[in-house]
Structure 1
Amino acid sequence: MNPDSRRHVCFLTGTLNAMAGAERMTATIANALAALGHHVTILSLWDTSSQFPLHPEVRHEAVFAQRPSFKRAYFATVAGIRRHCRAHRIDVLVQVDPMLELFVRPATVGLGLHHIAWEHCHFDEDLGKPARKLARRLAARFCRQVVVLTERDRSRWLEALRPRSEVVCLPNPLPFALPDAPAPRTQRTVLAMGRLVPAKGFDVLLRAWKIVAAQAPQWQLLIHGEGEERPALAALIRELGLEDSASLPGICHDPVQAYGNASVFCLSSRYEGFGLVLIEAMAFGLPIVSTDCETGPRELLDPGRDALVVAADDANALAQALLAVIRQPELAATLGASGRQKASRFALEHIAQRWDALVRAPG
C-alpha cells in the first residue's frame, strides 16, 4: 500500500467482550484493514477485553474499565472519544452502531473526520431504544457513509430518511477461510447458534423439536450460545421432555468444529440484521432451514434452492421443514451444495477490499 493512502481508522463500539455478531465483525474488519496496512484502533466504551483475537497491529483501548451509566457519564464519554481521536490522529471513525452518533457528534466537532455509521440491525427495529430513531437521522445527515448489510435495508434508509449520507450495502464477510471440503454430515445433529435472547426464536425451535424428536428419535439438537433466556430455555427443554435430544452447550469457541460436526443448520429467528451464521453454515455445505424474517435471511436465501424457508413463530412449519431435510438426503445434499457455492461470494478478502476503498475514499 502507498504510505500516502494509509488511514488512521478507529472502530468505536460498546464492547468487544461479548460473543455477538457485531462485535465479531468489528474485530474481523479491523484485523483485515490492519493487514492491508492501515493504522487501526478499536475504542470500546467499556472493557479492554475482547472475545475475538485481534491483529498484532490493532490497538484496543476503552473509555471506561466497566460499563457506566451513560446518562451520568455522558460528558466523560464524549471527552474520552475526543481524546482518543486526537491522540491517535484518527482520520476515519467507524461507529459500529448508529446509536453512537449521539456521542460522536459532539465529540468530534472541528476534527474534520471521515464519519462512517455501520448498521448491524435493520432499519425497522430499534431494539427497545426510541433514541435509535434520532441517532439514525443524525447519522443519515452527518456521516459521509452509512454502511448497511442488505439491499432491503438500504432501500428503507433511502425512502424513510432521504439521507445526505451515501448509503452503502456491504454484507458481513465469512470470518474464516472457505473450508476446502464440505462437512461430512455423518452425525445426526441439527445445529443452531446465536445469543439466547427472544429475537432468536429458540423457544419456537424447541417446540418444533418436540415434533421432530418424536419422528426422528436418533437426532440431536444443539443450540450454541449464551444469554438471558438460558433459564427459560432450559426449563422449556425439561417441560417438553427433550433432555435426551436437545442441549444448550454454551458459547461456541470453535465454530469450525461445530459446523463440521453438524448435518443441518436451523435459524429460527424472529428478526435478523444479517444472519452471518447462515453464510458460515453454507460454507460448510450444511442444508439450511430458516425463518423468512427481515432482513438478512429474506435476502440471503433462495427458498427451495439453498434453503427451506418457513414463516417466523410457526413451530409446526419449522418442524416439517427439518423433517424434510432429515428424511430426504438428496434434498439435503442439493441445498447444501447450492449454499456452499453462494458462501464463496462472502469471502473476507473481497469484502475487506471494499472496506479498504471506503476508508481511503477522498472527502
Structure 2
Amino acid sequence: MSLQLLTDRMKFAFFIKSLVFPGGGAERVFCGVVNGLSDRGHDCVVVTFDDGQEEFFYQLHSSIEIERLSASTPGRSTPRRNLPRIMKSTRKIAQRYKPDAAVAFMHSTYVPVAFAFAGTGVPLVVSEHTSAAHYSGRPLQRRLARVAQQMAYAKTVVSTQVYEEHPKSWRKNLHVLANPVDLTEYAAAQRNFPSDGLILCLGGLRPEKDQLTLISAFDRVASEFPEWRLRLVGDGTERPAIEARIAQSQYRSRIELPGVIRDVAGEYAKASIVAMPSRYESLGLVAIEAMASGRPVVGFADCAGAATLIQHGVNGLLAEAGVDRARSLAESLRTLMADRGLCIAMGMRAPPTIQHYSIDAIVGQWEGLLLAAATSRANVPALDGRKNELVGKPEGHGG
C-alpha cells in the first residue's frame, strides 16, 4: 500500500443497530472509531436502526452524516419482519453514498448488512464484539455470523483470545482490532486514590455481566469491612432481578444502583476497586478504562475479556470460577479490601499495561484495514490467510 494512499480522503459507511440505548461499551467504541477517522480527514456516514426522535447517548462529530432506518427499538431484538426493509434501505444507502468501504458492528447488525451489500462491490468489514460463549446454544446465530464473515472483506474481533476461539478454517480474513480508549480522559484519577472504600461495577445489567454474583460476593465480606460500599452503574434487562436481590441483602443500604451515568471517568475516580464479574466478555472496555484511571480490577480467570487484561497480582486479581463463583470472587475482593496499600500499588502499575489500547493507535489500525479494503473494491476475503497482515495485533497479546 502506497504512502500516498494512506493520506487520501476516503468515504466510509458505518452501521450499528442503535446509538440511543444508554451505556453500551461497543457503542462507545463505535463512536470513538468513527470520530477518530473523521478527525483524520475521512468522510463518514453513520447508519442506525433507530428512529429519528431520540438523542444518541454518545456524541458524534457534527461533520458526520447520520441516517436512521426507524426499524428497531433500543434494547430489544429487531423484529424479523423488519429485516427485509432494513436490507432494502441499507442497499439504497450503499448505492447513494457509494462508500469506499463499510463497517457493521455486532452480529445483530452485520448479518443483515452483509446480505444487503452482496453484489454492490463495496467491501464490508464485519466487527464482532462478543465471544464464542455467546453463540453457545444459538446455532442459527452462529451460522449466520459465519456466512456474513464469508461474504465480507474482513471480520474483526477485539482480542487474540477471541481470535483463537474461531476454527482455523475461519481465520483467513480475521483480524484483531482491540477496543480503543482515550487514555487521557481517565489519567486525572491516577493522581488521587480515594480514602473511602468503594467497589465499582460498571456495565449493562444483563445476565452475562453477572452482577448477581458480585452482590453475593459483597454479602460475604461486607461485615468485615463496614466502611465499604458496592456501586452498580448501568441499566438493562436484569434490573428487576438485581433490585430484588439487593432487597434481600442485609447490607442493602450499602449497595447503590444509580442507573446509567455519562461521566464514567468520574465514577472510576471515586472507586478503590473495579469489579468485572462477567461470565463472558470479548474484551473488557471497563477494565481498560479502570486501569487507565489507576484502579485495580478483579475478574474471573475463565472470562476471556478479563483474562486478556488482568495480570494477576500486577494490575488486579483473577478469581478462579470453580464451583462457587461468589465465594471465589469474595476472596479476591477481601484480599484488596484488607490492604489499601496493595490497591494503590496495583493501581499504579495498571496504566502502563494498557497503553497499546490508546484511541490513536487503534484508529490507525482501523484506518489501515479500511484503506486496504477500499483498494480491493471486492467483497471477498483478500489477505492471503495471514493473521493481521496489515493492521497487526495489539502489542502485548500472545497467540
TM-score by length of 1: 0.93
The yes-or-no answer on 1:61 pairing with 2:41 is no
Matched, 1:351 2:367: no
Q: For the residues of structure 1 that align with 2:274 and 2:188, how far apart are their CA atoms?
A: 19
CA contact (8 A) 1:12 1:42 kept: yes
**1:125 paired residue number:** 134
Q: Secondary structure at the match of 1:209?
A: helix
The alpha carbon displacement at 1:218 in A equals 0.8
Higher RCO, Cα 8 Å, sep 6+: 2
How far apart are residue 97 of structure 1 and its match?
A: 1.6
Give the one of 154, 165, 170 matched to 1:162: 170
- SS of 2:68's partner is strand
1:202 paired residue among 208, 211, 230? 211
Which residue in the other structure is 1:78 paired with? 87
- 2:352 paired with 1:341: yes
Provide the C-alpha distance between the structure 1 equivalents of 2:131 and 2:294, rounded to a whole number of angstroms. Answer: 27
Closer, same or farther: CA 69–336 of 1 in aligned 2, 3 Å: closer
Does the C-alpha gap of structure 1 residues 127 and 95 become closer, same or farther in structure 2, counting only changes over 3 Å? Answer: farther
Which of residues 293, 297, 305 in structure 2 aligns to 1:284?
293
Contact (CA 8 Å) 2:202, 2:286: kept in 1 or not?
yes
Q: In 1, are the aligned partners of 2:189 and 2:269 still within 8 Å (CA)?
A: no
Judge conservation of contact 1:116–1:147 (CA < 8 Å) in 2: yes
The one-letter code of the counterpart of 1:355 is W
Q: Which stretch of structure 1 is more off in the superposition, 96-105 or 264-273? A: 96-105
| Cα distance, 1:281 vs structure 2 | 0.5
1:16 and 2:19 correspond: yes
- Which residue in the other structure is 1:300 paired with? 309
Q: Give the aligned length.
A: 361
Residue 334 (structure 1) shift = 2.1
Q: Equivalent residue for 1:274?
A: 283
Match of 2:245 among 232, 236, 256: 236
Where structure 2 has 5 or more consecutive residues not aligned to the other structure, the ranges are 377-399
CA distance in 2 between counterparts of 1:208 and 1:303 reads 19
2:187 counterpart of 1:179: yes
Instruction: Tell me how large the CA RMSD over aligned residues is.
Output: 2.1
Query: Which segment is superposed worse, 77-86 or 294-303?
Result: 294-303
Q: What is the CA-CA distance between 1:158 and the residue it aligns to? A: 4.2
Where 1:236 maps in the other structure, the secondary structure is helix
The 3-state SS of whatever aligns with 1:112 is coil
The CA deviation string for residues 245-281 of structure 1, in whole angstroms up to 9 with x for no partner, is 1110111210111111111111111111211000100
Q: How far apart are residue 155 of structure 1 and its match?
A: 1.7
Q: TM-score, normalised by structure 2?
A: 0.85
Aligned to 1:360: 371
Check whether the contact 1:269–1:293 (CA below 8 A) recurs between aligned residues.
Answer: no
Give the structure 2 partner of residue 250 of structure 1: 259
Aligned to 1:149: 158
State the Cα distance separating 1:176 from its structure 2 match.
Answer: 5.1
1:325 aligns with 2:336: yes
> Take 1:301 and 1:199, find their aligned partners in 2: how far apart are those partners?
19
Q: Deviations over 1:143-179 (max 9, x none)?
A: 11111011111122242x4344x21111101145251
Task: Judge conservation of contact 2:278–2:303 (CA < 8 Å) in 1.
Answer: no
Alpha-carbon deviations, 1:86-134, whole Å to 9, x = none? 2222121111023434322332233211110101001242286433212
Give 5+ residue unaligned stretches, structure 1: none
Correspondence for 1:6: 9
| Shift of residue 326, structure 1, vs aligned partner | 1.4
Matched residue of 2:66: which SS?
strand
Percent identical: 26
